[in-house]
């Protein structure tokens, strides 16, 4: 995990959450916490999750994009940023 890329991805997700209201801003923070603690993979033992679906209570009961799905998005953006740096963009 490249921390600089991770924080850039996190800030972009937070900006998007604030601007669109599509995600709970607190869940973006919780997603960062999962990624920083390297705990996303261990959550796969508890819940089945993807970019748009999760079977955790937050997604199922509160009907919102949960921290697990947001963490996947932030991780994907992190990987894209790392690749952009590698290519010198
Ligand atoms: Zn979830």
47, 68 contact by CB (below 8 A): yes
Burial degree of 45 (CB within 10 A; 0-12, 13-18, 19+): exposed
Q: How far is the CA of 81 from the centre of ligand 1 (A)?
A: 24
Q: How far is the CA of 52 from the centre of ligand 1 (A)?
A: 10
pLDDT, one tens digit for every residue, the chain (89 residues): 899 999 999 999 999 999 999 999 999 999 999 999 999 988 988 999 999 999 999 999 999 999 999 999 999 999 999 999 999 98
Q: How far is the CA of 53 from the centre of ligand 1 (A)?
A: 8
Q: How far is the CA of 64 from the centre of ligand 1 (A)?
A: 9
Nearest to 31 by CA among 11, 45, 10: 10
Three-class secondary structure assignment of 31-55: HHHHHHCCCHHHHCCCCCECCCCEC
Q: How far is the CA of 83 from the centre of ligand 1 (A)?
A: 27
Q: Enumerate the domain spans of the chain.
A: 3-86
Question: What global pTM score does this model have?
Answer: 0.93
């Amino acid at each position: 995990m490249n921390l600089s890329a991770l924080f850039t991805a996190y800030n972009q997700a937070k900006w998007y959450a604030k601007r669109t209201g599509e995600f709970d801003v607190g869940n973006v923070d919780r997603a960062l916490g999962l990624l920083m603690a390297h705990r996303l993979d261990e959550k796969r033992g508890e819940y089945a999750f993807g970019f748009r679906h999760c079977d955790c209570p937050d997604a199922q009961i509160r009907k919102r994009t949960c921290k697990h799905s947001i963490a996947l998005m932030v991780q994907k953006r992190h990987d894209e940023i790392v690749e952009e740096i590698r290519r010198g963009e």
